Amino acid sequence: MTQQIDDRFAEFETDNAMFIAARNAVHQARQAEDTAYKRFSGKDFASGDLKREDALEDKYMSTVHNVLNGLLYLPDTEPLRRKAEMAVQLFKDFNFHVSDGFEAEARKVLNMAQQWQAATDYTLAELGIDVWVGKAVVQAQKVLQLVALRVDHESAKVKGEQADARKATDQAIRKAYDVLNALAVLSP
């Protein structure tokens, strides 16, 4: 509605300085209102990137889990089986699920990788998961960076900004109507 009023005022031809100032005030107030609306109602700017990076992290961690679970099918006499049992236990210890929240999952990945690398009974290369864990760590770091960017973006929003912008637009329109009414009364 304010867009239509702004457009009509822009079409109105006059040399009256008061109306021109009122028309410009309406236009600026409407633009500020549109900006506030887009900031609050728009799609989160990082959501697409965040989902994409998290999906890659999920794939890498699922691969690690599947490789370790595959090693559990080795005969009991194989030393690699016992090492895989110790490594896969971290998934249970950290209660890891790929459906966890972005930040929680990324932090679990980083902590699990740290635990795996600190293990003295086995190495990641020995289990064949070193490349996948490395890729999962890189993805987890990207996810955490995007989460931090999203938090910064969200915290930049000012509470009540949209309502204040709407009030300013309404006030500017009322003033412009007052000027128009005065011009109509004064004009023969």
Looking at the structure, tell me whether residues 35 and 121 fall in a common domain.
no
Q: What is the pLDDT of residue 41?
A: 65
What's 109-127 look like in SS3? Answer: HHHHHHHHHHCCCCCHHHH
Looking at the structure, tell me whether residues 123 and 83 fall in a common domain.
yes
- The tally of domains found in the chain comes to 2
Strand, helix or coil for residue 82: helix
Q: What is the pLDDT of residue 55?
A: 94
pLDDT tens string, the chain, 188 residues long: the values are 677 887 787 887 878 888 888 888 888 988 888 877 776 665 666 778 889 999 999 999 999 999 999 999 999 899 999 999 999 999 999 999 989 999 999 999 999 999 999 988 888 899 999 999 999 999 999 999 998 888 777 666 666 777 788 888 888 888 888 888 887 787 76
Looking at the structure, tell me whether residues 105 and 143 fall in a common domain.
yes
Looking at the structure, tell me whether residues 106 and 31 fall in a common domain.
no
Looking at the structure, tell me whether residues 106 and 178 fall in a common domain.
no
Closest CA to 64 of 104, 6, 8, 115: 115
Looking at the structure, tell me whether residues 139 and 178 fall in a common domain.
no
Looking at the structure, tell me whether residues 93 and 125 fall in a common domain.
yes
Looking at the structure, tell me whether residues 34 and 88 fall in a common domain.
no
Q: What is the pLDDT of residue 45?
A: 63
pTM of the model: 0.63
Residues spanned by the domain of 26: 2-8+16-42+158-186
Q: What is the pLDDT of residue 16?
A: 82
Amino acid identity of residue 47, one-letter, is S
Looking at the structure, tell me whether residues 57 and 129 fall in a common domain.
yes
Q: What is the pLDDT of residue 129?
A: 92
Task: Answer for the pair 46, 153: CB distance below 8 angstroms, yes or no.
Answer: yes
Looking at the structure, tell me whether residues 88 and 144 fall in a common domain.
yes
Looking at the structure, tell me whether residues 124 and 174 fall in a common domain.
no
Looking at the structure, tell me whether residues 162 and 150 fall in a common domain.
no
